[in-house]
Amino acid sequence: MSGASGATATERVRAALARIAQVDRPEVFIDLRPDDDLLADAARVDERVAAGEHLPLAGLVAAVKGNIAVAGLPTTAGCPSFADGPAPADATAVARLRDAGAVVLGTTNLDQFATGLVGTRSPYGAVRHATAPDRISGGSSSGSAVAVALGIADLALGTDTAGSGRVPAALHGLVGVKPTRGLVPVTGVVPACRTLDCVSVFADTVALAERVLGVLAGPDGTDPLARTGAAVAVTTGPGVVGVPDTAALGALAPGWATAFERAATDLRAAGVRTVPVDIDPLLAAARLLYDGAFVAERYAAVGTFVSTHPDAVDPVVGGIIRAAGELPAHRYFTDLETLDELRLAAARRLAGLDAVLLPTTTQHPTLAAVRADPVRVNSDLGRFTNFANLLDLAAVAVPAGEVDGLPFGVQLCGPAFSDARLAGLGRLLTGEPAGDRPVRGTGAATVPLAVVGAHLRGQPLNGELTGRGGTFVGTTTTAPEYRLHALSTTPAKPGLERVEQGGSRIEVEVWALPPAGFAELVAALPHPMAIGPVRLADGATVSGFLCEPLALHDARDITTTGGWRRHLAGLAGADPAGAA
């Protein structure tokens, strides 16, 4: 059901409501919007599409974690008495979903105040796993993950401070994107740790998750911690990924070490070069999040409420937050100094890598196991996730098969603003080709287009794509049979040439255009540019920008840079991360 191709928004909302009744899982949602309101929203989306408006998320329904404001619903953060009436306005992320054509169903259950990785710490009931109800769903974004896993929602918003957007994704075979800190504004989100919180995305494919992130990203003028992203430098080709020795991972559930090794093998088979990496600094940083003074930020967020409403708060959550209020200020600065040292050590270990491959979590416990030892089990689940925001890393969790009939997942962690690169690596792991998912709201299947130069995001001709209804799909590379040349044109642009020998992999973005928009682009294309078949790293062939051979005679060969962004960064004498 999720993402059924061609469905109108109205059809998809009706299907979601029927699915909610069918699965009978009342613990998944805290508040659902009235059916009439949902259908009215869907009708408006369908009208906008019929009028020719391009809506990248039209025909999709979304669920929203209960600590993110949805206008007209209480923002409980998993605590009924915390809400101060219906939210007067949407959180920025929710407003952007609606503007893009998604219909928001309601708010989902969570570990109270987003404190937990288990999904059981809620007065609305423990959120059971979608297909193994004796096991946890993972948290704290438990309801959001289960809503997607059950086929109720096409996509869902969570938050991820310590792993809450990745652990439940891994336990359900979903994609969970924890973007670069600050890439998505947190305006309208009840904070857990204000300086570390991220709005995260759940979806059943990398392509959809990345499309949603493209809708959500960018400062809103309100969140003081929002950041403007810049593409980071990437290696030529599928990339270099650090893979730790399984002995360094510590204890894992039976069969998980073998599954992790299999995922590393799959990356290598896809052309990725893997190298050993020491993850000790990452694990040490992870322990700081709860064992150190950084947990005091949770008290700053909701401590006063917790202290004055002891009967309204989950006992485990209350114990964690109240204890955080007793930490002395000097302890924070001591831990901050330790974190600075670990950040430097981590940067040295990760230098030259596009990402680090890790299991997303350590085990899939039963509900009974969590009841018997709630703190220890929860702590163990965050072994590989707690460090990401402290070290300012981006991360994406992707499914990597099953172990004993239950999903197993891995995550890729990389530098800040490497989100698109991580998504490309995630697609290699899942076998998902770039541009494989049609963009809704166009009335027809879209045309994937490989973009190599002046039409990239942030470049001067990108408006020729967005103005024709183009939607960013993801970043990848060509097959190793192309050369790139800097042309003498205004604006500056490169020429991509396919060669029989001496070729290399060149970084490209894949966009999806409505057929009419694609036709307009081709008709208006000036010489010496041309559109022709371009073969991508995963073997797929899509339409892409090429160059007439005549124009290459006096052009400079820039193949060794690996792509247009790195070429521009070299001209500016800047770090490629700053090349927009």
Who has greater pLDDT, 435 or 547? 547
84 in a domain, yes or no? Answer: yes
Q: Please tell me which residue in 2, 122, 137, 140 is annotated as part of the active site.
A: 140
Cα–Cα nearest to 464, from 517, 527, 516: 517
Sign of the C-alpha dihedral computed for residues 543, 545, 548 and 554 taken in this order: negative
Q: Residue 408 belongs to a domain with what CATH number?
A: 3.90.1300.10
**pLDDT tens readout for residues 170-218:** 999 999 999 999 999 999 999 999 999 999 999 999 989 988 998 898 8
Residue among 122, 144, 164, 504 flagged as catalytic: 164
Peptide bond into 140 cis (omega under 30): yes
Residues 141, 231 share a domain: yes
Beta bridge partner(s), residue 412: 357, 396
Are residue 109 and residue 189 in the same domain, yes or no?
yes
498 and 559 within one domain: yes
Is residue 561 assigned to a domain? yes
Q: In whole angstroms, how large is the CA radius of gyration of the chain?
A: 23
> What is the per-residue pLDDT across 283-306, written as a single tens digit (0 to 9) for each?
999 999 988 899 999 999 999 999
Q: Has residue 266 been placed in a domain?
A: no
Is the CA virtual torsion 444, 215, 53, 57 positive or negative?
Answer: positive
Residue 94 structural domain: 9-249+355-430
State percent of the chain over pLDDT 70. 93
Residues 139 and 200 in one domain: yes
Q: Where are the alpha helices (DSSP H) in 411-490?
A: 419-430, 463-466
pLDDT at 55: 86
Cα separation, 99 vs 213, whole angstroms: 14
| pLDDT at site 572 | 62
**pLDDT-wise least confident of 19-28, 462-471, 489-498:** 462-471
pLDDT at 230 over 60: no
Q: Please count the other Cβ atoms lying within 10 Å of the Cβ belonging to residue 270.
A: 17
User: Does 17 share its domain with 142?
Assistant: yes
Is 178 a known active-site residue?
no
Tell me whether residue 258 is in a domain.
no
- 55 inside domain: yes
Examine the domain organization and report whether 404 and 516 are in the same domain. Answer: no
Q: Residue written as tokens 């800047």?
A: 574
- The last residue of a domain, from among 380, 402, 430: 430
Considering 401, 430, 459, which residue would you say is the last residue of a domain?
430
Q: Is residue 179 part of a domain?
A: yes
Q: Determine, yes or no, domain membership for 483.
A: yes
pLDDT at 157: 98
Alpha helices for 24-138 (secondary structure H): 35-50, 92-99
Q: Are residues 461 and 572 in the same domain?
A: yes
| CATH, residue 459 | 3.10.490.10
Average pLDDT over residues 337-347: 97
CB atoms within 10 A of CB 312: 15
Quick one: 106 and 181 in the same domain?
yes
232 confidence band (pLDDT: 50, 70, 90):
very low
Q: Give the other-Cβ count within 10 Å of 455's Cβ.
A: 24
Identify whether residues 139 and 226 lie together within a single domain.
yes
How far apart, in Å, are the Cα atoms of 333 and each of 293, 296, 328?
8, 12, 10
Domain end call among 398, 430, 462: 430
The residues, ordered by sequence, that sit 6+ positions from 271 with a Cβ below 8 Å of its Cβ are 237, 238, 428, 537
The 10 Å CB-count burial string (b at 16+, else e) for 517-555 is bbebbeeeeeebbbbeebbbbbebebbbbbbeeebbeeb
How does residue 488 score in pLDDT terms, banded at 50, 70 and 90?
confident
Are 380 and 235 in a shared domain?
yes
Name the catalytic one among 2, 65, 200, 418. 65
140 is catalytic: yes
Region 72-80 average pLDDT: 98
pLDDT of residue 214: 85
Domain count, the chain: 2
Q: Over 60: is that where the pLDDT of 18 sits?
A: yes
Same domain, 471 and 403: no
Comparing CA positions, the residue from 106, 65, 30, 33 lying closest to residue 188 is: 65
pLDDT band at 56 (very low <50, low <70, confident <90, very high): confident
Half-sphere exposure of 544 (CA within 13 A, CB side): 30
**Residue-level pLDDT at 382:** 97
For residue 510, pLDDT over 70 is answered with yes
Mean residue pLDDT across the chain: 90
Give pLDDT, residue 554.
84
Residue 574 has pLDDT above 50, yes or no: no
Residue 423 sits in the same domain as residue 499: no
Q: For the ranges 145-159, 251-265, 432-446, 491-505, which has the lowest average pLDDT? A: 432-446
What is the Cα–Cα distance from 202 to 210, expressed in whole angstroms?
A: 10
- Residue 162 is assigned to a structural domain of this protein: yes
pLDDT band at 573 (very low <50, low <70, confident <90, very high): low
